[in-house]
């Protein structure tokens, strides 16, 4: 090749890069019809998602419907051009996601990414009725138990028996028939496996009144030997105790003919919510198949060998065999992608889509381009990037979905002083704070009045959240829409700060450091808003911020050195108890970490034992009032979610209780329309381009 | 020669021992709760409170003394068990075997363009020293130096995948999209009838006679290879150019010219071969770098290689994965260095291995 052709090549290469660079910066052109690598299926007829047969008995009516405090926005009518041209991958739904699936074992899983897969492969005894967060429908059970239909009975000693008649003729994916024994086995395995950090406590607590199976064994060993249960080493308990522990578990969940009975030592109103929660723990697995894989065989002599397994030793870690609408096809550990295929024999009728592929795509730009090009039908878009996706041709956005999560700032009322880099001098001298700084109610109230919700929600959450009204979010039964809330009021903040610490606080000032998780821009904004307002009040008030890696934040939070921290709670099950307990009970996750004390314990314990909804409402209203009166935290926000999908995806609706999306009712069709009934009912907003 | 190789390889276990002990010792600077972040990945998993965290620490032996933790790892290591990778969600060995072929494939496709363009343009620049072609390659080189791979990768992705791919004829369907294969090709590659002989999808597709899959795999490789090539060859080009300039000033080159040897022959036979020595040295590092994984390129193009995994493992304090990858990189580094030393002898006859 001569010199001239070399030069020509180089010039052409540079010109190509420059032109492509310019093209990349230009706004996207309207979507051209994508090429289709596989033949197009005939669009399916529009139909409503198939639900199980109508329940024979109505579930107990909730005493109070959740009230929507804001007037729902009118859904926008789509004005875009109808879709033309073939649909990419017409019978396969591709999701561009970014979360890691932890395990496929329902009794091991305790995260939403795993829960989303389990939700589609396994079924529960009962389920929530479509997007409703209040009404149950039977699933593998034929009826939803209630006092009225006699499936819930109260015994004179205060114990409760809940009976689930099991549906007949249902097959697991491998062809085995579902039996009542499988149902009992699933719950027994959950309790006896009790993996550390896992979900077993959710069932152990109402059924056996303990948080771990080891605690149960210690209690039994103490009964047998007369030792103090706290001094017993679980690893050293006798074989007889292990058998007795297992028998107690089997007594708590037993088969009676074609029914499965759960015996609760005392009333536990949210039990049905726990059983209906489709996150994982209440999924029904096949005992015969599980035993063949090497899981617990159901014998009381062998359970200890399967107790608290490491993930690599769990035989069901990457195997699935449920009764659900999809079957596991492949979990690729190299890519993180997972694919499911349709169960053509599904008892509620086969799903419309033949395959679901969830791709792990860490990079936002790649997810966005996959959505833009039609290579992803649904994509997860973080809030900070939504402006870059809105307006993408061919995409439909459904926003305003109320999430069952709350954000809050917790005050540590008894900060660990030793080796604490966040409290300065450790004294009220203007250069630090004393360890019990937040034990003064006026300090907590002052902070609440100094916080600007409007700015926070606008700047940090792009107006896609509501101000939280206390420890119970909207959408949960017994949420009080009239509960008082704090608003920015610097005058009142000043009054409280002047009263705090007998007036010394105002004179001397304070200084501390607020750590937040690295990349958590919302928390950073939150603390900056607080700092700005506090300094307006008194220049001697100062908050510094520092971002920490998760490992460091975890270590510091366990040590109790964090003076304040911004956190959130995602419910385990849909009941007010699962909100007040972690935040206000002395044994709750956050209340323990902030040393809140025991003043609310009695009321919370009463609430969970009470069956009468009217009385329960009084209790939870009172707890919400106390949370306000005592300013236990700054309840910042209840977020509203967004869902981005191709316009050709049909049948989408959402329930905030699900661990993720529901692919069962979805299909892909050119005339797909948003489900306006659902959109209107929940006050959502639909935009499409 | 064999004695030389054996002597060099004897250092391997000593170096491995050194780096793994160092890593374990460094980890002891973090307390067990901090190291627990591998198993409790975000605040939402703090549900069980401190009691559950203590159970996890006990379960994984995170509070055990250093020698116990290291001893456990070594005893498994000698049995070929590298442990469980929480980030790869499988054993470290499976995690490695699942990702390494993708990395090898990317390296094989990238190394050729990098070296070819670097040597070719380096020689041209040196021969046309300070003429406009030299200035032009300098500009391109500076761009390559200063252009971070994430910028170049994203621009290429937006241009080729975001804009161009929609206008391509059906023959190029699926080209430039992220990942290793399109969905339909992935289904073929995962089917029972498709034998994964090498786990390099391009090679396996050819061996299975799946031309469409091969074509699709090539289309997926183009952008990551372009990104890697451009970012890397800039440096190589500069080195090749200066090495060539240096060589062209040598007496033996002047002598060759004085003897009337044709200029093309002087450059190709006399100067270029000698100028290649620094490139050979650096190629070793390049191969180690590419085979250890390229984090940003893999992340942008959704390419499931070792780089993404290594970064995630390091960030999440996934000790077994980091140790496994460290072992691999150490072995790779020693072996590649050995090969480079052997290549010196091939390129430069004056070098003798003793």
Determine the Cα–Cα distance for residues A560 and B282; give it in Å rounded to an integer.
Answer: 50
ipTM of the complex: 0.80
Determine the Cα–Cα distance for residues A43 and A80; give it in Å rounded to an integer.
Answer: 20
Q: Once rounded to an integer, what is the mean pLDDT over residues B76-90? A: 88
pLDDT of residue A484: 94
Determine the Cα–Cα distance for residues B310 and B292; give it in Å rounded to an integer.
Answer: 8
Does A21 have pLDDT greater than 50?
A: no
Residue B336 CB partners (closer than 8 Å, separation 6+): B284, B285, B287, B288
pLDDT of residue A305: 92
From residue B311, give the alpha-carbon distance in Å to each of B38, B251, B295. Answer: 13, 49, 7
pLDDT of residue A14: 53
Q: Once rounded to an integer, what is the mean pLDDT over residues A9-31? A: 45
Task: Give the strands of the sheet with A152-154, arranged side by side.
Answer: A152-154, A160-165, A259-264, A253-256
Does B338 have pLDDT greater than 70?
A: yes
Contacts of B44 in chain A (CB under 8 A): 568-570
Provide the b/e sequence for A52-84 (b: ≥16 CB within 10 Å).
beebeeebbeeebebeeeeeeeebeebeeeebe
Distance of CA A550 to the CA centre of its chain: 19
**Nearest-10 crossing angle of helices A201-208, A239-252:** 80
Q: Once rounded to an integer, what is the mean pLDDT over residues B303-311? A: 87
**Smallest Cα–Cα separation from A40: which of A75, A6, A84?**
A84
- Place A189 in a pLDDT band, splitting at 50, 70 and 90: very high
Nearest by CB: A32 against B50, B167, B308? B167
pLDDT of residue A587: 83
- Tens of pLDDT along A387-417? 889 988 889 999 888 889 999 999 999 999 8
Q: For the CA atoms of A397, A399, A403, A408, what is the dihedral angle to 10 degrees? A: 120
Question: How large is the greatest C-alpha to C-alpha distance in chain A, in angstroms?
Answer: 101
Q: Inter-chain contact B174–A37, Cβ cutoff 8 Å?
A: yes
Task: Give strand ranges (E) for A385-461.
Answer: 395-402, 405-411
pLDDT of residue A64: 33
Between positions 222 and 281 of A, the ones with CB within 8 A of B are none
Write down the pTM of the prediction.
0.83
Determine the Cα–Cα distance for residues A428 and A435; give it in Å rounded to an integer.
Answer: 10
> A473: which 2 tokens?
């979010």
Determine the Cα–Cα distance for residues A617 and A634; give it in Å rounded to an integer.
Answer: 23
pLDDT of residue A31: 35
Determine the Cα–Cα distance for residues A570 and A592; give it in Å rounded to an integer.
Answer: 17
Contacts of A31 in chain B (CB under 8 A): 166
| Contact between residue B275 and residue B247 where contact means Cβ atoms under 8 Å apart | yes
DSSP secondary structure string for all residues of A122-169: ---SEEE-TT-SS-EEESSBSS---TTTTSEEE-TTS-EEEEEEBPSS
Determine the Cα–Cα distance for residues A340 and A338; give it in Å rounded to an integer.
Answer: 7
Determine the Cα–Cα distance for residues A340 and A94; give it in Å rounded to an integer.
Answer: 11
The SS3 call for residue A534 is helix
Contacts of B43 in chain A (CB under 8 A): 517, 553, 567-568
pLDDT of residue A11: 52
Higher pLDDT, residue A319 or A31: A319
Higher pLDDT, residue B347 or A56: B347
- Tens of pLDDT along A114-157? 999 999 999 999 999 988 888 999 999 999 999 899 999 999 99
Determine the Cα–Cα distance for residues B297 and B308; give it in Å rounded to an integer.
Answer: 9
Least confidently predicted of A17-21, A505-509, A606-610, B276-280: A17-21
pLDDT of residue A509: 92
Determine the Cα–Cα distance for residues A461 and A448; give it in Å rounded to an integer.
Answer: 19
Does A67 have pLDDT greater than 50?
A: no
Residue A591 CB partners (closer than 8 Å, separation 6+): A582, A583, A584, A585, A600
Residues in chain A: 689
pLDDT of residue B354: 64
* A313–chain B Cβ distance below 8 A for any pair: no
**Smallest Cα–Cα separation from B140: which of A53, A17, A186, A575?**
A17
Could you tell me which chain B residue has the CA closest to the CA of A566? B43
Does A80 have pLDDT greater than 90?
A: no
- Place B30 in a pLDDT band, splitting at 50, 70 and 90: confident
Contacts of B164 in chain A (CB under 8 A): 20, 23
**Smallest Cα–Cα separation from B292: which of B264, B332, B324?**
B332
* A15–chain B Cβ distance below 8 A for any pair: no
Min CA distance, A317 vs chain B (Å)? Answer: 10
| Contact between residue A509 and residue A416 where contact means Cβ atoms under 8 Å apart | no
* A94–chain B Cβ distance below 8 A for any pair: yes
Q: Inter-chain contact A92–B183, Cβ cutoff 8 Å?
A: yes
pLDDT of residue A68: 37
> A665: which 2 tokens?
């009712």
Q: What percent of chain B has pLDDT over 70?
A: 95
pLDDT of residue A29: 35
Q: Inter-chain contact B124–A592, Cβ cutoff 8 Å?
A: no
Give the helix, strand, coil percentages of chain A, each rounded to 5: 35, 15, 50
Does B351 have pLDDT greater than 80?
A: no
**Smallest Cα–Cα separation from B154: which of A376, A30, A25, A11?**
A25
Q: Once rounded to an integer, what is the mean pLDDT over residues A526-542? A: 92
> A641: which 2 tokens?
């979610």
Higher pLDDT, residue B56 or A79: B56
Give me the phi and psi of A46, to 5 degrees please.
-65, 135
**Smallest Cα–Cα separation from A433: which of A342, A291, A534, A549?**
A534
Determine the Cα–Cα distance for residues A109 and A115; give it in Å rounded to an integer.
Answer: 7
Contacts of B37 in chain A (CB under 8 A): 549-551, 554-555
- Place A81 in a pLDDT band, splitting at 50, 70 and 90: confident
Could you tell me which chain A residue has the CA closest to the CA of B97? A334
Min CA distance, B170 vs chain A (Å)? Answer: 7
Contacts of B155 in chain A (CB under 8 A): 20-21, 24
**Smallest Cα–Cα separation from A88: which of B30, B165, B300?**
B165
Min CA distance, A150 vs chain B (Å)? Answer: 34
- Place B48 in a pLDDT band, splitting at 50, 70 and 90: low
| Contact between residue A607 and residue A614 where contact means Cβ atoms under 8 Å apart | no
Least confidently predicted of A78-92, B127-141, B181-195: A78-92
pLDDT of residue A12: 55
Could you tell me which chain B residue has the CA closest to the CA of A548? B34
- Tens of pLDDT along A149-173? 999 999 999 899 999 999 999 999 9
* A30–chain B Cβ distance below 8 A for any pair: no
Residue A446 CB partners (closer than 8 Å, separation 6+): A493, A494, A496, A497, A500
Q: Once rounded to an integer, what is the mean pLDDT over residues B65-85? A: 88
Q: What is the mean pLDDT of chain A?
A: 85
Residue B236 CB partners (closer than 8 Å, separation 6+): B114, B115, B118, B119, B122, B279, B282, B286
- Tens of pLDDT along A545-597? 998 888 888 888 888 899 998 888 888 899 999 999 989 998 888 888 788 88
Determine the Cα–Cα distance for residues A281 and A316; give it in Å rounded to an integer.
Answer: 14
- Tens of pLDDT along B166-198? 888 888 888 888 888 888 898 898 888 899 888
Determine the Cα–Cα distance for residues A668 and A41; give it in Å rounded to an integer.
Answer: 9
- Tens of pLDDT along A247-266? 999 999 999 999 999 999 99
- Place A13 in a pLDDT band, splitting at 50, 70 and 90: low
* A519–chain B Cβ distance below 8 A for any pair: no
Among A15, A101, A355, A363, pick the best mutation site for testing chain B contact (most B Cβ within 10 A). Answer: A363
Determine the Cα–Cα distance for residues B88 and B86; give it in Å rounded to an integer.
Answer: 6
């Amino acid at each position: 090749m001569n010199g001239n052709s070399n030069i020509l090549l180089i010039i052409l290469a540079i010109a190509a890069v420059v032109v492509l660079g310019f093209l990349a910066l230009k706004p996207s052109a309207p979507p051209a019809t994508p090429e289709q690598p596989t033949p197009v299926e005939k669009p399916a007829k529009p139909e409503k998602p198939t639900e199980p047969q109508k329940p024979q008995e109505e579930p107990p009516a909730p005493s109070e419907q959740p009230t929507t405090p804001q007037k729902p926005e009118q859904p926008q009518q789509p004005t875009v051009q109808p879709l033309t041209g073939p649909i990419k991958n017409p019978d396969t739904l591709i999701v561009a996601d970014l979360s890691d699936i932890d395990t496929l074992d329902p009794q091991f899983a305790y995260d939403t990414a795993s829960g989303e897969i389990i939700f589609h492969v396994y079924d529960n005894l009962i389920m929530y009725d479509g997007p409703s967060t209040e009404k149950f429908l039977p699933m593998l059970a034929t009826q939803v138990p209630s006092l009225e239909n006699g499936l819930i009975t109260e015994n004179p000693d205060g114990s409760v028996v809940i009976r689930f008649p099991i549906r007949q003729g249902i097959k697991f994916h491998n062809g085995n028939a579902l039996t009542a024994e499988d149902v009992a086995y699933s719950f027994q395995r959950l309790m006896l496996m009790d993996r550390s950090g896992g979900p077993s406590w959710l069932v152990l607590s109402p059924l056996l009144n303990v948080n771990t199976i080891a605690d149960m064994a210690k209690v039994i060993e103490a009964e047998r030997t007369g030792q103090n249960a706290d001094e017993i080493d679980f690893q050293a308990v006798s074989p007889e105790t292990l058998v007795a522990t297992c028998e107690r578990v089997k007594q708590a969940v037993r088969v009676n003919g074609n029914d499965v009975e759960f015996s609760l030592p005392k009333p536990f109103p949210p039990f049905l919510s726990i059983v209906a929660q489709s996150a994982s723990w209440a999924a029904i697995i096949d005992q015969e198949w599980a035993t063949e894989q090497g899981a617990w065989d159901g014998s009381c002599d062998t359970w200890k060998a399967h107790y608290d397994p490491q993930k690599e030793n769990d035989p069901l870690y990457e195997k699935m065999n449920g009764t659900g609408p999809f079957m596991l096809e492949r979990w690729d550990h190299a890519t993180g992608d997972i694919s499911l295929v349709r169960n053509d024999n599904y008892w509620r009728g086969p799903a419309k889509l033949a395959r679901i592929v969830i791709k792990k795509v860490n990079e936002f730009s790649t997810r966005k381009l996959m959505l833009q090009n039609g290579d992803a039908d649904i994509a997860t878009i973080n809030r900070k990037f939504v402006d870059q996706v809105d307006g993408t041709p061919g995409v439909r956005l459904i926003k305003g979905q109320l999430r069952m999560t709350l954000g809050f700032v917790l005050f540590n009322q008894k900060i660990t002083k030793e080796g604490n880099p966040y409290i300065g001098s450790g004294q009220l001298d203007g250069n630090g704070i004393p360890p019990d700084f937040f034990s003064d109610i006026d300090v907590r109230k002052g902070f609440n009045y100094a916080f600007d919700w409007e700015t926070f929600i606008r700047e940090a959450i792009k107006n896609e959240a509501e101000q939280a009204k206390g420890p119970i979010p909207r959408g949960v039964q017994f949420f009080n829409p009239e509960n008082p809330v704090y608003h920015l009021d610097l005058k009142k903040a000043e009054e409280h700060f002047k009263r705090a610490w007998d007036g010394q606080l105002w004179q001397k000032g304070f200084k501390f450091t607020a750590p937040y998780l690295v990349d958590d821009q919302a928390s950073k904004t939150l603390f900056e808003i607080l700092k700005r307002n506090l300094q307006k009040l008194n220049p001697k008030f100062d908050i510094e911020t520092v971002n920490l890696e998760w490992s460091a934040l975890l270590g510091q939070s366990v040590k109790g050195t964090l003076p304040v921290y911004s956190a959130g709670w995602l419910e385990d099950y849909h009941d007010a108890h699962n909100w007040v307990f972690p935040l206000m009970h002395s044994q709750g996750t956050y209340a323990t970490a902030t040393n809140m004390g025991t003043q609310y314990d009695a009321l919370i314990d009463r609430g969970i034992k009470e069956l009468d909804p009217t009385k329960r409402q009084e209790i939870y209203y009172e707890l919400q009032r106390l949370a306000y009166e005592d300013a236990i935290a700054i309840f910042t926000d209840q977020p509203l979610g967004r869902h981005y999908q191709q316009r050709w995806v049909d049948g989408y609706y959402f329930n905030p209780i699900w661990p993720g999306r529901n692919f069962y009712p979805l299909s892909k069709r050119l005339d797909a329309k948003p489900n306006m009934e659902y959109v209107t009912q929940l006050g959502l907003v639909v935009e499409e381009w | 020669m064999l004695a030389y190789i054996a002597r060099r390889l004897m250092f391997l276990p000593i170096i491995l021992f050194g780096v793994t002990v160092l890593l374990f010792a460094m980890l002891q600077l973090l307390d067990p709760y901090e190291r627990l972040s591998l198993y409790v990945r975000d605040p939402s998993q703090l549900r069980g409170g401190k009691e559950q965290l203590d159970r996890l620490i006990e379960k994984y032996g995170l509070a055990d003394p250093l020698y116990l933790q290291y001893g456990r790892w070594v005893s498994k290591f000698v049995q070929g068990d590298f442990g469980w990778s929480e980030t790869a969600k499988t054993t470290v060995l499976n995690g490695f075997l699942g990702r390494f072929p993708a990395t090898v494939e990317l390296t094989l496709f990238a190394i050729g363009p990098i070296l070819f363009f670097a040597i070719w343009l380096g020689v041209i620049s040196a021969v046309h020293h300070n003429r406009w072609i030299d200035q032009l390659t300098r500009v391109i080189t500076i761009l390559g130096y200063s252009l971070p791979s994430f910028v170049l990768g994203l621009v290429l992705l937006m241009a080729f995948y975001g804009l161009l791919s929609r206008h391509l004829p059906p023959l190029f369907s699926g080209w430039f999209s992220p990942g290793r294969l399109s969905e339909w090709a992935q289904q073929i590659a995962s089917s029972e009838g498709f034998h994964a002989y090498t786990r390099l999808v391009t090679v396996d597709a050819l061996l299975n006679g799946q031309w469409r899959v091969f074509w699709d795999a090539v289309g997926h490789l183009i952008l990551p290879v372009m990104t890697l090539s451009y970012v890397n060859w800039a440096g190589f080009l500069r080195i090749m150019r200066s090495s060539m300039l240096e060589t062209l000033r040598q007496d033996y080159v002047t002598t060759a010219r004085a003897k009337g040897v044709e200029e093309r022959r002087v450059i190709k036979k006399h100067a270029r071969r000698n100028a290649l020595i620094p490139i050979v040295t650096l190629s070793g590092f390049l191969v180690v770098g590419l085979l250890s994984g390229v984090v940003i390129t893999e992340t942008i193009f959704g390419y499931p290689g070792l780089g993404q995994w290594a970064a995630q493992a390091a960030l999440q304090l996934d000790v077994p994965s980091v140790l496994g990858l460290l072992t691999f990189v150490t072995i790779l580094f020693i072996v590649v260095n050995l090969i480079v030393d052997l290549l010196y002898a091939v390129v430069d006859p004056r070098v003798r291995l003793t």
